[in-house]
Chains A and B, each alone.
Chain A
Amino acid sequence: QVQLQQSGPGLVKPSETLSLTCTVSGDSISSYYWSWIRQPPEKGLEWIGYIYYTGNTNYNPSLNSRLTISVDTSKNQFSLKLTSVTAADTAVYYCAGHPFIAGPFDIWGQGTMVTVSP
């Protein structure tokens, strides 16, 4: 079955760029839409943005100016870059897959706790 493996640093300094990668195994990256979702400590879930294998993206307007999601089909990977981070960006970041644009998130990565701190 499809599995997602996340990678990236768990500590980022304020004003720097948060970068995470999600590797898809068990199926082609073209089979799904791919989203990033985050969860601040002790809080709820916030959708960040999605990408399709074609490169088509859609971002949460609240993050749009700082956000880039990209895809590398040759590596079956997609990535998140969030610039100018602050403590408010401290959260567990998840990658997730949905089988169509209005579909549920039925595949999840393991989550990466990212702390923004000097």
Chain B
Amino acid sequence: DIQMTQSPSSLPASVGDRVTITCRASQSIYKYLNWYQQKPGKAPKLLIYSASTLQSGVPSRFSGSGSGTDFTLTISSLQPEDFATYYCQQSYSTLLYTFGQGTKLEIK
């Protein structure tokens, strides 16, 4: 199994901050890395796929980078609606897709 490890698990931040969330894979997944945003009581929403491609309709303040085993999700200027939990997910191993444990972005 490919293990996905996110850090931090919790991230206090303020509106306007630039924040970065890290995701590390236990082996190379090339660029088969996707990022999701989940708000309480809602289904996850795709933000970024293939490590750095912004999903249609997602604000440009979200960006992704990385390849191989190390990836980042950056929000350039936090907005009130961005406080949520973020998950990374690898789609390289199609026998078993796996998610990170999540990063909860909280109001400082």
Interface residues of A (CB under 8 A from B): 35, 44-47, 58, 60-61, 94, 96, 98, 101-106, 108-111
Q: List 28 A-B contacts (CB under 8 A).
A: A44-B87, A44-B99, A44-B100, A44-B102, A45-B87, A45-B99, A46-B99, A47-B97, A47-B98, A47-B99, A60-B96, A61-B96, A94-B43, A101-B94, A102-B92, A103-B49, A103-B91, A104-B55, A104-B89, A105-B44, A105-B89, A106-B46, A106-B49, A106-B55, A108-B44, A108-B45, A110-B43, A111-B43
Q: Is the interface of A mostly helix, strand, loop or mixed?
A: loop
Q: Which chain B residues have a beta carbon within 8 Å of chain A's beta carbons?
A: 32, 34, 36, 42-46, 49-50, 55, 87, 89, 91-92, 94-102
A102 engages B95 (CB within 8 Å)? no
Complex Cα gap A96–B95 (Å):
16
Complex CA–CA separation, A30 to B46 (angstroms): 21
Contacts of A60 in B (CB 8 A): 96
Main DSSP-derived SS at the B contact region: loop
Bound together, the chains give a CA A58 to CA B97 distance in angstroms of 10
List, in ascending order, chain B residues with CB within 8 A of A108's CB. Answer: 43-45
Q: Quick one: closest A residue to B53, CB to CB?
A: A104
| Minimum CB distance partner of A99 in chain B | B49
Apart from A45-B44, A47-B99, what are 13 other A-B pairs with CB-CB below 8 Å?
A44-B99, A44-B102, A45-B87, A45-B89, A58-B95, A60-B96, A94-B43, A96-B43, A102-B92, A104-B34, A104-B46, A104-B50, A105-B34
